[in-house]
Amino acid sequence: MKSLSPEAKARLRSRSRFVHLGRDGEASHGFVNLPPYRGSTVLFPDAATLESGNQRFTYGTHGTPTTEALCEAWTALAGAAGTALVPTGMAAIALALFTAVKAGDHLLMTDSAYQPARRFCDGMLKRMGVETTYYDPRLGAGIASLFRPNTKAVFVESPGSQSLEVQDIPAIAEAARARGACVIADNTWATPLFFPPHANGVDLAIEAGTKYLSGHSDLLLGLVSANAAWLEPLRRVERELAIPAGPEDVFLALRGLRTMELRLREAERQALALAQWLRARPEVLHVLHPALPDHPDHALWKRDFAGSSGLFSVVLQPTSDRAVAAMLDGLELFGLGYSWGGFETLVIPFDCAPYRSATRWAPGGPSLRFSVGLEDIEDLKDDLARGFERLKAAS
Ligand SMILES: Cc1ncc(COP(=O)(O)O)c(C=O)c1O
């Protein structure tokens, strides 16, 4: 196979891009996939090149052909100027925050953020002299009133990965731009397929590659893409921290990328079907899925997003913890476990109340989050229907 020219790659439609970006047939000697290049040392041909560092690869922490392939593909998919890879999604959150704030700065953080991201702000950033204010994710342009002279970054996660509030990112980005603050988005739920972050005003976009890029629950990876204004600051902190992603994980992520669009579109279909079924169940009080017309942020989701992924939540009618446990314990196809975006369906109970500070989480009953996989939807419904029988019997 000939390598595609940059012009030919730029012409490709979405599905072809997932298949062809980051591939170079000549560099991989005709093999379809690049191998996982492993290594610390890169040899230089002579003393002058060693001195100048003027060659494509110079040291393991600075990139390999495998990491470069994934960065090139992701940069194009995200509409970014460049991408950094780190070992986990949480490390990507840390890298983006370290890039945007320093001692004496103030950070605005959505109250709906992934809880370990809050831990990072309340722990590491606080110790380093950065103050965090949590804000209501539904504040939209109203965020303008929270800016202080030293506010240097606004962090969004839309939708929130448990509570599913959609944020008005274009309005937040406009308010931030007017004050010179960096907009950081955890875009893991939508991925650039359903929400192109940089075209919507985001400066640094985070993707936990652990989820849909992997698709198989067998790797950990974080990506931070930057627009042109924020690429150099990102590169500097990337170099200073020197925490590159593992070669095997990057290789697997490149492999996952090839089927990512297909898996995401199927996850979208499956999740919508299950969400609609759940909405009709008497045991369910609310379904939290922004693509359903009765979700409070549906109009915003429809305006800004090109699709929805396989992650959504439900609030059950009030019942005991014992009854919920009886439901969950007998499930055959729904794995009980953290993370999401894999080929297999997962469910976890959750409660945002203990850590929310700008908003109150009181949904009216116990909450469950689903990551819907690729099983037959009728099997999933049958399994859940049996679960609801156990719930009723134990109530
Ligand atoms: C929204 C979101 N962002 C980031 C992460 C962190 O990813 P990782 O598990 O790779 O650290 C997660 C993990 O669950 C997540 O749900």
| Residue range 307-362, pLDDT digits in tens | 999 999 999 999 999 999 999 999 999 999 999 999 999 999 999 999 999 999 99
CB 258 within 8 A of CB 26: no
Side chain identity at residue 330, one-letter code: G
Cα(141)–Cα(46) distance, rounded to whole angstroms? 57
Measured from the CA of 90, which atom of ligand 1 is nearest?
Answer: 11
Substitution site in 95, 97, 114, 338 for ligand 1 pocket (most atoms within 8 Å of beta carbon): 114
Write the CB contacts of 127 (distance below 8 Å, at least 6 apart in sequence).
none
Cα(171)–Cα(373) distance, rounded to whole angstroms? 33
pLDDT band at residue 253 using 50, 70 and 90 as cut-offs = very high
Cα-to-centroid distance, 77 and ligand 1 (Å)? 20
> Does residue 3 surpass a pLDDT of 90?
no
**What is the percent of the chain with per-residue pLDDT over 90, rounded to a whole number?**
96
Q: Which residues of 101-139 are buried (b: 16+ CB within 10 A; e: fewer)?
A: beeebbbbbbbbbbeebbebbeeebeeeebebbbbbbbb
Cα(86)–Cα(225) distance, rounded to whole angstroms? 11
CB 340 within 8 A of CB 311: yes
Substitution site in 162, 163, 188 for ligand 1 pocket (most atoms within 8 Å of beta carbon): 188
Write the CB contacts of 304 (distance below 8 Å, at least 6 apart in sequence).
166, 169, 170, 195, 200
Cα(70)–Cα(57) distance, rounded to whole angstroms? 15
Q: Which residue lies with its CA nearest to atom 7 of ligand 1?
A: 89
Cα-to-centroid distance, 76 and ligand 1 (Å)? 22
Measured from the CA of 161, which atom of ligand 1 is nearest?
Answer: 1
Cα-to-centroid distance, 339 and ligand 1 (Å)? 7
User: In the numeric block, which tokens belong to residue 150?
Assistant: 């030293």
> Does residue 60 surpass a pLDDT of 70?
yes
Measured from the CA of 209, which atom of ligand 1 is nearest?
Answer: 10
Q: Which residue lies with its CA nearest to atom 2 of ligand 1?
A: 114
Measured from the CA of 220, which atom of ligand 1 is nearest?
Answer: 10
Substitution site in 90, 348, 371 for ligand 1 pocket (most atoms within 8 Å of beta carbon): 90
Cα-to-centroid distance, 189 and ligand 1 (Å)? 10
Q: Average per-residue pLDDT in the chain?
A: 97
> Does residue 1 surpass a pLDDT of 70?
no
Substitution site in 121, 339, 346, 369 for ligand 1 pocket (most atoms within 8 Å of beta carbon): 339
Q: Look up residue 23 and give its DSSP letter.
A: -
**Residues 235-260: what's their mean pLDDT?**
98
**pLDDT tens-digit map of 21-38:** 999 878 888 899 999 999
Whether 208 lines ligand 1, by a CB cut-off of 6 Å, is yes
Whether 197 lines ligand 1, by a CB cut-off of 6 Å, is no
Q: What is the pLDDT of residue 288?
A: 98
The model carries a pTM of: 0.98
Helix (H, G, I), strand (E, B) or coil at 88: coil
Q: What is the 3-state secondary structure (H, E, C) of 204-267?
A: EEEEECCCCCCCCCCCCCEEEEECHHHHHHHHHHHHHHCCCCCHHHHHHHHHHHHHHHHHHHHH
Q: Which residue lies with its CA nearest to atom 5 of ligand 1?
A: 89
- Give the full edge-to-edge strand order of the sheet including 335-336: 284-288, 311-316, 367-371, 346-350, 335-336
Whether 220 lines ligand 1, by a CB cut-off of 6 Å, is yes
Q: What is the pLDDT of residue 313?
A: 98
**Residues 101-108: what's their mean pLDDT?**
98
